[in-house]
Structure 1
Amino acid sequence: MSRETDDLADVADAEEDLEDLALEDDYALNPEFVSDVADALDRGDAERLRELLAALHPADVADLMGFLAADARAELIPHLDPETLAEILSELDSEIREAVLEHVPSATLAKAIGEMESDDAADVVDDLEADKRAEVMAAIPESERAAIETSLAYQDETAGRLMQREVVAAPQFWTVGQAIDHFRRDADELPELFFDIYVVDPAYKPVGAVPVSLLLRHSRQTPLAQIMEPVTEITVDLDQEEVAYIFDKYHLISAPVVDVAGRLVGQITVDDIVGVLQEEGEEDILALAGVSDAGRDADVLGIVKSRLPWLLINTLTAALAVSVIGVFEGEIEKLATLAVLMPVVASLGGNAGTQTLTVAVRALASRELSAFNAARTVVREMVVGVANGAVLAVLTGVVIFGLFHDARLSAAFALSMVITLFVAGLAGALIPLALERMGRDPAVSSSVFVTFVTDFTGFFAFLGLAAIILM
């Protein structure tokens, strides 16, 4: 084996070692690798930095930027060529991307945007400050600039903003052979990734689609109109959450996007929908807790502003719930044990309500819960609440009797448990349904109201029953 061959083998082994070091078994970045990148940046070791970055997929470089400090990111950017930068910008979280864009020269950014699909390019341009946006747009070729401006004209989080304008279309009178020959001649004009050829009429309205896999199975003489399949059209103004629902329901890989006149203006592919599903899912999870996304670069003041309003509302509802205790102040003075046990009832009721609420919000989001089956769902959750309450009533009743040797106290606690969990099931199902009917997002405010109802019911049921049975 020659020395040159040995050197090439050593280089390959070194690259493989770096790839093994970069990622852990779950594909998360290895903290040691991140430290190596930070050290290379501190030393200004450009050669070592290039070696480390070469071992990463662009998505991993985007993840890496999230771990680095802002000044380290700024030092890293000059080591990225426009093509790599284009892929990384498409993967970055919006907050981190905005910070990164401040340090990318306008000329470099214009080249990077030229490497992107139109939907990703529009997202990046939208994140730019007005002055820099004007500089970058002026440096972009006119045809690409027009496509980006058209995308930006659509409202955020709609199909028009989500779609890519690069699309593969063919007239319905073409044959398979004509389509293949045309695509080969104009290969540079094709999208980087596509799954369907959309068959259009003379008005450029989609009348069907031919999957690439189906195209390759037929002879060149086969008319496209003979093998095309029906398409599910997406209108440009449709909310991205609705688009994701359609993709999930009909198991779509791609879908044509049409304007108000029904003309084909772009396409949405499943890789875009994966991001939407993740984004919408994260929003619902955060909304249930009454918080917004605290990204890796979020500042303390911003987090406080996003969370404090809901805590204030929760304080008011908690005060209302606790006010019921004042009504039974005399009973509590006579039997201090009531003060010890009443938070237990409210806590278990709150947990039960949260369980029902979470299931109801998920069912509403996935369209599994509607006016048609709402009554059945509410009744089911009420029965579940009574059943769980009965089981807990027996268990806690026995424990309380063993601790305090008071059968009447155990009975009051057990009955209040059944009542509270019944109301928790009812509130957990009804409140999100009511908010949905009123046009409100049930994920945002349901938890505050459910907590109020379960706390109020728990305190009132236990103290009220104790006053009747014990006093």
Structure 2
Amino acid sequence: MASERDEDLLVADPPLAEDAAHHDGRPDDRIDDERHDEENRLKPEFVRKIRNALDAEENEAVHDLIEPLHPADIADLVELFERDERDQLAAAAAELMSADVIAELNDHVREDMMEALPADAVAAIVEELEMDDAVQLLEDLDEDDQQAILAEVEPEDRAAIESALSYPEETAGRLMNRNFVAVPEHLTVGALIDMLRDEGDLANDFWEIFVVDHKHHPVGTCLLSWILRTPRNIKLTDVMKRDQTLIPVTMDQEELGLMFQKYGLISAAVIDESGRLVGQMTVDDVVHIIAEEAGEDVLLLSGAGEGDINEPIREAYGSRVRWLIANLGTAVVGSAIIAMFGAAIEKLVALAVLMPIVASIGGNAGTQTMAVAVRAIAMNQLTRANTWRIVGRELRVALLNGVTIAVLIGLATAAIFTPELGVVIAAAMVINIIVSGMAGVLVPVTFERLGQDPAVASSVFVTMITDSMGFFAFLGLAVASGIV
């Protein structure tokens, strides 16, 4: 939490440790012919050397091999080993498993390592981390483990971490950086510069200074570049930017990422329910959020759960099998429609040959539209204000696609089978692609209106609609036309 220092300068709590970018003074040798390939990945032969040294219980050799690596590379190395080997690796190179390494680890791997370490060892790591990294490290642990670790942490740091953990997951309150600089509005530029120079407990890195009133409510911001170019006698209120973007502590991280992207923010103030400045979000943290949300949506569309190769097998099974069961249910619907036209298929075997084509193309068309719609919803480009315009647009695209594919499949079918069957499959293709385009938009929009994540279940229902309509349109038209 921010506190007043030297009567005027308000500085948030400093990070739990100095910026680890220096990595104990070690050179940054991420590109190394002996250890890394041309794509900066650890070479298999290098990993094999470490595994052989572990097998031979040559801990000193393991330490010497790992010591020159960048912390991010050490984290990558840990993730390459099996779960039981990681404990052995960590024991062999214990002093190298710094807070920087822990912060870089995959969530599942980090959780395993934290559970294997004693509480005092984890507490020492926590105190070395930036606040947001410390919160991320602890948030996935059991409450009993959290309390045991926090009991070993300094009271001031413990209070800050507990405050962050009190906010819901994936909200600004959890993610914000409490390491910021705030000053009262009555200062002049010269007084501010002098205070910044004299204050020894400032944030390591900051790009703008928040100006607050007597209630600690943010009233403006000053970029450092403005401060450096402004005469000393000018008041901050005369140069500060009053129109600023404020982030509520309860804002979801996806919305937070969109706000930074939309307004081109570098940093933004985070306020609590009473409007007090309690933290800041910076673009380096938001970049990770955007990448995480984008990957999450792609995986949800495929029904692959977290899609993490380090995810425990039982969790991966649970997250994927339920969607496969749902797909099984939708496949039964398609099979039931086929069964309705069993007699027609027996009379004309060509129907059985061609109907998968109609369903497959329709499914692909629906998936294309659904992917566009889900992304548009996530980016706030598809809203209540323009839903029907987007539906009309996708309908026109689907019509053009349907006619193009219908002509191609119709001519091919007429040449191989009969002209009548060519007309039937062409008409069925147009119908199914149009229906697929409509479903690709309306299904995600419907889920979004119901307050559900459209990326989670849209694919199941779109697939059911496209398959069912493809079979029904093709077989129904074949029967209605009298060719069977």
Structure 1 length-normalised TM: 0.91
Letter in 2 for 1:41: L
C-alpha distance in 2 between matches for 1:182 and 1:74:
48
The match for 2:137 among 103, 124, 127 is: 124
**Mean CA deviation greater in 105-114 or 18-27:** 18-27
Structure 1 residues 170-179 or 317-326, which shifts more? Answer: 170-179
Indicate the SS of the match to 2:269: strand
Question: Which residue in 2 is equivalent to 1:412?
Answer: 424
User: How far apart are residue 150 of structure 1 and its match?
Assistant: 0.8
Q: CA offset at residue 269 of structure 1?
A: 1.1
Deviations 1:437-468 (A, max 9, x none): 11111111111111111111111111111112
Q: Which amino acid in the other structure matches residue 276 of structure 1? A: I
Kindly indicate whether the alpha-carbon contact (under 8 Å) linking 1:19 and 1:56 is maintained by their aligned counterparts in 2. Answer: no
- SS at 1:19's partner residue? coil
Is 2:447 the partner of 1:426? no
Letter in 1 for 2:219: V
Match of 1:58 among 71, 90, 101: 71
Q: After superposition, where does 1:280-299 map in structure 2 within 5 Å?
A: 280-299=293-312
- The equivalent residue for 2:376 is 363
SS at match of 2:98: helix
1:325 equivalent to 2:338? Answer yes
Greater mean deviation of Cα atoms: 59-68 or 130-139: 130-139
Bigger helix share: 1
Q: Which amino acid aligns with 2:464?
A: F
User: Residue 10 of structure 1 corresponds to which residue in structure 2?
Assistant: none
Tell me what 1:148 maps to: 161
Give the distance between the partners of 1:315 and 1:467, measured in 2 at CA.
27
Is the partner of 1:197 in helix, strand or coil?
strand
How many angstroms does 1:128 deviate by?
3.4
What is the alpha-carbon distance in structure 2 between the residues aligned to residue 262 and residue 156 of structure 1? 21
Counterpart in 1 of 2:99?
Answer: 86
- Cα–Cα, structure 1 residues 276 and 331, in superposed 2: closer, same or farther, change >3 Å? same
Q: Secondary structure at the match of 2:221?
A: strand
3-state DSSP class of the match of 1:148?
Answer: helix
| Structure 1 residues 36-435: aligned runs within 5 Å | 36-78=49-91, 79-81=93-95, 85-187=98-200, 189-229=201-241, 230-404=243-417, 406-435=418-447
Query: Partner of 2:178: helix, strand, or coil?
Result: coil
Q: Following TM superposition, by how much is the alpha carbon of 1:130 offset from its aligned partner in structure 2, in angstroms?
A: 4.0
When residues 222 and 91 of structure 1 are mapped into structure 2, their CA distance, relative to the original with a 3 A threshold, is farther
Query: 1:21-48: CA deviations, max 9, x gaps?
Result: 3333333333333333333333344444
Deviation string 1:276-307 (CA, Å, 9 cap, x unpaired) is: 11221121111111221242333333222211
Alignment-mate amino acid for residue 114 of structure 2? L
- Seen in structure 2, the aligned counterparts of structure 1 residues 373 and 343 have a Cα distance that, compared at 3 Å, is same
Q: In terms of mean alpha carbon deviation, does 414-423 or 101-110 score higher?
A: 101-110
Q: Would the alpha carbon gap of residues 208 and 15 (structure 1) be closer, same or farther in structure 2, given more than 3 Å must change?
A: closer
Of 273-282 and 177-186, deviating more is: 177-186
1:3 is aligned to: none
In structure 1, give the amino acid aligned to 2:80: F
Aligned-pair CA distance for 1:18: 7.3
Deviations 1:135-167 (A, max 9, x none): 322221111111111111111111100112221
- The separation in 2 between residues aligned to 1:183 and 1:263, in whole angstroms, is 22
Query: Which ranges of structure 1 fall in alignment gaps of 5 or more residues?
Result: 1-13
d(CA) in 2 for partners of 1:255 and 1:127?
Answer: 26
CA deviation after TM superposition for structure 1 residue 54, in Å: 3.6
Q: Separation in 1 of the partners of 2:198 and 2:326?
A: 63
C-alpha change, 1:28 and 1:217, in structure 2 (3 Å) is: farther
The aligned residue for residue 25 of structure 1 is 38
Match of 1:455 among 442, 467, 470: 467
CA contact (8 A) 2:30 2:73 kept: no
Cα RMSD for the two superposed structures: 2.1
- Equivalent pair of 2:212/2:220 in contact (CA under 8 Å): yes
> Equivalent residue of 1:292, what SS?
coil
- Secondary structure at the counterpart of residue 208 of structure 1: strand
Which residue pairs with 2:22 in the alignment? none
Q: Deviations over 1:233-265 (max 9, x none)?
A: 111111111111111111111111111111111
Determine if contact 1:29/1:64 at 8 Å carries over to the other structure: yes
Partners of 1:108 and 1:373 in 2: CA distance: 54
- Match for residue 436 of structure 1 among 444, 448, 452: 448
Q: Does the 8 Å CA contact 1:244/1:273 hold for their aligned counterparts?
A: yes
2-side partners of 1:217 and 1:47: how far apart? Answer: 54
| Aligned residues between the structures | 455
Distance 2:480 2:104 in 1: 63
For residue 446 of structure 2, what is the amino acid of its counterpart? A
Q: Contact (CA 8 Å) 2:29, 2:70: kept in 1 or not?
A: no
The residue identity in structure 1 corresponding to 2:426 is A
Q: CA deviation at 1:16?
A: 5.7
Matched residues in 2 for 1:326 and 1:15: separation?
A: 66
- Structure-2 change in CA distance of 1:136 and 1:304 (3 Å): closer
Which residue pairs with 1:4 in the alignment?
none
1:465 aligns with 2:477: yes
